[in-house]
Structure 1
Amino acid sequence: MAFADLLEQVGATGRFQVVHTTLLCIPVLMMASHNLLQNFAAAVPPHFCSAHANLSASAQLSAADALRITVPLDAKGAPEKCRRYEAPQWHLLAGNGSAGPGDWEDADGAALQEQAALQDCHDGWTYEERERTSSIISEWSLVCNLRSLKPMGQTVYMGGVLVGAGIFGGLADRFGRRLLLIMANLLMAVAGTCAAFSTSFSLFCLFRFMCGMALSGIVLNTFSLIVEWIPTRVRTVVGTGTGYCYTMGQLILALLAYFIRDWRWLTLAVSLPFYVSFLYSWWFLESSRWLALNKKPEEAVRNLKAVARYNGRKAEGEKIDVERLQVSMKKEMSGCKSSYTTLDLFRTPTMRRMTLCLSAVWFSTSFAYYGLSMDLQKFGVDIYLIQVIFGTVDIPAKVVITITMSYCGRRLSQCGGLILAGVTIMSNLLVPYDKQVVRTCLAVLGKGCLAASFNCCYLYSGELFPTVLRQSGLGWVSMLARLGAMTAPMVLLLGEYVTWLPGFIYGLVPVLSGVAAFFLPETLNIPLPDTIEDVEER
């Protein structure tokens, strides 16, 4: 397109692009921390019913004895999590006052235990904080009858990401990328800080919802500002580099969570960096491509000249004026309406097919990705270790997807990543549950494929949607992705009734969307489209 020539004139891969892209990518490092924060902030510690209130008068009882006469055993010989005896079973101490929980399995004790009446945990729960000093689970007792509130907390957060995608996506196409990015950084910093000091679960969910909204604004506007200031030939490499920032963020989260065991301080630690990004985001230049197409040619020229000066091409930049910009982009500017809405994504045949296929791709990728990533405790491995493994696998996965995108094209890479991820996840259903290492390896492989798919769909979608609708398009598909992420934790609840059903659903959905991706056009080495007409002609 004509803008590409102007960009080459002022320096398409100069110092400005390097500094600009680097600063935009820094907040991406902390995005994974917010997306996956629940793995640590909502870690479920071992717990059982607290002793009866009137038992505190018996100060001579050890903790083991108090547990023995208060809580029955489950089928696995461990203390029940959600029930206790209606009254203390003093006879269980007869003849062995020093007995501990591991000595409960004699025949008489088991018989007496079956006869005793049970009740809910009327005096609360006792938590064994082994890995974390505190979590939202222990702070607000989100266990037993309230255990469904744990996935609800993540669903509320993803609901914020969904709403934010709709709001920030549409507003950015109308008011610009830079302003919305500044606002999103401030919202993330403030909402994250408030979440860290929440006094109730309801307030925590409210502020996490706002964090989700802010995350959408940061992601969408960061990506658009990057791709609209770089040339076609480096889009794949830069897009992959941005994806690696998210990968590094997963490792940073594991490191922070290892040293910061309190959920409040951890939430604060992953939110404070956004104050810094808010301060320096005022330096960013608005996209001249967007300014030109929104009837602001003077500002577009001023920004192009600023880029030229920063890249050491001041003389070349001075040759650009409003008249030359209008002549160069005459076709694109004449084809633009005064405003666009999300409905324009569906008005024409090619845009409609493309939007529907991308919607399926984003929904399924996010659905399966968060289905695997948001319940690390189920793997029976140290959550810090599994977080590192899940983050590390993204590195080779994104190397592979970068190579395939560069040589095989975006469409084949997108299809292959999704189908392979789905097949891998469903293969886990055939592995016996006691083969924990094999199951974990397959899950890690599937997660790597989904991470590669995410890396591809961000770049692919940015290349498919035209400039006049790029933010609206990315906002729409991001909304579908967050709908998938909201649905994923709820599907896990189906495992309480049919153990294999969540894994089957997590695997089937990516396979189906991988087929849908075959109907997308290829964009390898093709310039960015600026108008809907460019998309239809392509």
Structure 2
Amino acid sequence: MEGSNDKLDLILTKCFDDKFHWQLLMVFLCAVGSMHTCTFQVASNFYRVEVPYYCVDWTYGNDDNSTESQTVGNDRKGDSCASSCARWVFNYSQLDVSSSIQESYNLTCGDEMFMQIHATVYFIGLGLGSLFGGHLGDRIGRVKIIRISNFVTASLCATMALTNSYLIHVTSYTIISGFIGTIWIAAYAYTTEIGTIKLRAKVAASLAVALCSGYIACGLIALVLPNWRHLLIVISLFQFICFGITLFMDESPRWLWSQKRYIEIHEAWINAVKVEGLFKRQNSNESQEELFAMLIQECKPRQNFLENVVSDFKNIFFLSSVNEEDSEDTKLTSENESLIGVYKYPRIVMRIIMLTIYWVSTYLMYFGVLFGAQLFGQQIHLFTILQGLGAVTGAVLSFFIINLAGRKLVSLLSLACLSVCFFICIIFPSSMRMIILPATLLARICLEIVGFLIFLWPSEMMPTTIRTSVLGLFSFVSRVTSMLVPFIETLDVYWESLPLLILAVISVGTIIPVLFLPETKNEQLPGNLKEGNEFGTKREEIDAAVESEVKLKEELDRS
């Protein structure tokens, strides 16, 4: 590949690749600063719980025109919503929780549908937030959008805990879910860009381990704090801490390069030098300083806060102007270097289609894997902790095997293993827990590996200028289609195992598009759409040229 990316790779190799401790520090800050997302995600298991209830104080009019009320004994039978009730009693004796939003917001007598609405808006917010947040990540930066998202989620989580209005509660929940999707996309893009070629998979796997640890943390916190309002207050405090942690993160040098912000790249390099100086004695950095001095002469002065806000606004809505005297690389960062201009690059379009299928299938299977939840009955804490352990195990395995075997092979093996787990649950009855439970946990481990790869693999395959935008598109489409899961579950009226059979077929079918995706192991990240379109073809061209040269040499030897 030729162009600006060669110069970029030279800068990163010369100035950042030897900053090993700085890279680890940035990944650590990003991972810890994003951990709260999974903690909040599973917290709904402990407060969106339908609780049996009955009335102990009935009131109703003596006639149609009467305003007088009469109290009826608590042994009233029949339609519990035929008359108004002055006091409901919620029975938690058979549940593993002691509070629910159903009681807090009095979702009774037909209002139970708002419980389902509460679950649905999560997917809507997550999908729309991922789509818009992915665009923001490409336009204003990875770290900036993570900081904004952390602050908003912390503020609105506290609002959810304190408000007595269901409308405010569910609106805050929807917005938080959108920003959570944004954090995931920006965090995976950031860790992919911050690490060297050999470290990329490992640092991204470290992020996955931290995120999955959030599941376990939520289960443990909920054991101590059974009241859902107290639980959300603690999570909100955790989110504010995560926001403070992200203030120490440096922006991705790759993204800064795509925006011609060389001064900020230099500042990140200075911070990297300081971090390395804490661990080892640094060699002379004079040549690197000279390199940055040459770059800084080519860029505009750093903007102040207000100018930065205005510039971000223009970038979001493609209002930034491109001058005729600007270089070709600068012009590439205009509107054409976005999803709008992807249609000109057929390879990228085909890969986006195949990766979308990969994402959609993964999220459909994710909810199918939860078939093991019934084995735990109402033991929500145990189920959440075990699911978290399965996810962490999958993330840890990813840390060791993805760099060794490659993205494609690990994806294929994980999808095949998932199919086997689904078929095991089809063949054996749910009463055989000694077989079904291990299959469920193994499926959760494999799914975590696949779930990790749907972030890492596209992040390495897609160019820097559209990396988070494409991830946001994948997330949006997969979240929308995951709403089909409840309808798939209803098919069990025809055959108990039909939903699992459909998910098994999906798992097998996903292998086909994966076969056509290029391997990204040990490959440089593409910088712009042109390089992204050529990605994966250079190695094939070299192999073909070598093979042709060998054949030619053999023919000459024969002659």
* TM bucket, shorter chain: 0.7 to 0.9
Q: For structure 2, which runs of at least 5 residues remain unmatched after alignment?
A: 1-5, 61-69, 299-325, 536-559
1:27 matched to 2:33:
yes
Distance change in 2, residues 1:14/1:408 (3 Å): closer
Shift of the alpha carbon at 1:199? 2.1
SS in structure 1 of the partner of residue 439 of structure 2: helix
Corresponding position of 1:3: 8
Please give the alpha-carbon distance, in whole angstroms, between the structure 1 residues aligned to 2:111 and 2:499.
21
Q: 2:49 aligns with which of 18, 43, 48?
A: 43
Q: 1:365 aligns with which of 344, 362, 367?
A: 362
Distance change in 2, residues 1:409/1:302 (3 Å): same
Corresponding position of 2:135: 170
Deviations 1:173-229 (A, max 9, x none): 122222222211111111111111232333222111111121122222222222222
Distance change in 2, residues 1:393/1:488 (3 Å): same
1:286 matched to 2:283:
no
Distance change in 2, residues 1:280/1:390 (3 Å): closer
Please give the alpha-carbon distance, in whole angstroms, between the structure 1 residues aligned to 2:403 and 2:289.
35
Please give the alpha-carbon distance, in whole angstroms, between the structure 2 residues aligned to 1:504 and 1:141.
39
Please give the alpha-carbon distance, in whole angstroms, between the structure 1 residues aligned to 2:109 and 2:389.
34
Q: For structure 1, which runs of at least 5 residues remain unmatched after alignment?
A: 60-65, 71-83, 87-117
Corresponding position of 2:238: 273
SS in structure 2 of the partner of residue 85 of structure 1: coil
Select between 143-152 and 201-210 the one with higher mean Cα deviation: 143-152
1:14 matched to 2:20:
yes
Conserved? CA contact 2:57–2:88, under 8 Å: no
Q: 1:208 aligns with which of 173, 176, 179?
A: 173
Q: Which amino acid aligns with 1:85?
A: G
1:333 matched to 2:298:
no
Corresponding position of 2:470: 473
Distance change in 2, residues 1:57/1:225 (3 Å): closer
Q: Which amino acid aligns with 1:297?
A: Y
Shift of the alpha carbon at 1:257? 1.1
Q: Which amino acid aligns with 1:134?
A: S
Shift of the alpha carbon at 1:244? 0.6
Please give the alpha-carbon distance, in whole angstroms, between the structure 1 residues aligned to 2:448 and 2:392.
9
Corresponding position of 1:63: none
Corresponding position of 1:460: 457
Conserved? CA contact 2:33–2:243, under 8 Å: no
Q: Percent identity?
A: 21
Distance change in 2, residues 1:530/1:247 (3 Å): same
Q: 2:78 aligns with which of 85, 88, 96?
A: 85
SS in structure 2 of the partner of residue 53 of structure 1: strand
Please give the alpha-carbon distance, in whole angstroms, between the structure 2 residues aligned to 1:134 and 1:165.
31
Distance change in 2, residues 1:129/1:27 (3 Å): farther
Q: Which amino acid aligns with 2:55?
A: S
**TM-score (ref. length: structure 1):** 0.80
Corresponding position of 1:483: 480
SS in structure 2 of the partner of residue 50 of structure 1: strand
**TM-score (ref. length: structure 2):** 0.78
1:347 matched to 2:344:
yes
Conserved? CA contact 2:127–2:475, under 8 Å: yes
Shift of the alpha carbon at 1:139? 3.0
Please give the alpha-carbon distance, in whole angstroms, between the structure 1 residues aligned to 2:529 and 2:359.
21
Shift of the alpha carbon at 1:484? 4.1
Corresponding position of 1:522: 519
Corresponding position of 2:291: 320
1:394 matched to 2:391:
yes
Conserved? CA contact 2:209–2:396, under 8 Å: no
Please give the alpha-carbon distance, in whole angstroms, between the structure 1 residues aligned to 2:10 and 2:362.
35
Conserved? CA contact 2:206–2:395, under 8 Å: no
1:304 matched to 2:297:
no
Corresponding position of 1:417: 414
Shift of the alpha carbon at 1:437? 4.5
Conserved? CA contact 1:410–1:456, under 8 Å: yes
Corresponding position of 1:295: 260
Conserved? CA contact 1:358–1:461, under 8 Å: yes
Shift of the alpha carbon at 1:252? 0.5
Conserved? CA contact 1:155–1:485, under 8 Å: no
Please give the alpha-carbon distance, in whole angstroms, between the structure 2 residues aligned to 1:211 and 1:7.
35
Q: Which amino acid aligns with 2:421?
A: T
1:257 matched to 2:262:
no
Please give the alpha-carbon distance, in whole angstroms, between the structure 2 residues aligned to 1:138 and 1:422.
40
1:127 matched to 2:90:
yes
Please give the alpha-carbon distance, in whole angstroms, between the structure 1 residues aligned to 2:495 and 2:106.
26
Please give the alpha-carbon distance, in whole angstroms, between the structure 2 residues aligned to 1:524 and 1:326.
35
Please give the alpha-carbon distance, in whole angstroms, between the structure 2 residues aligned to 1:141 and 1:494.
32
Distance change in 2, residues 1:212/1:496 (3 Å): farther
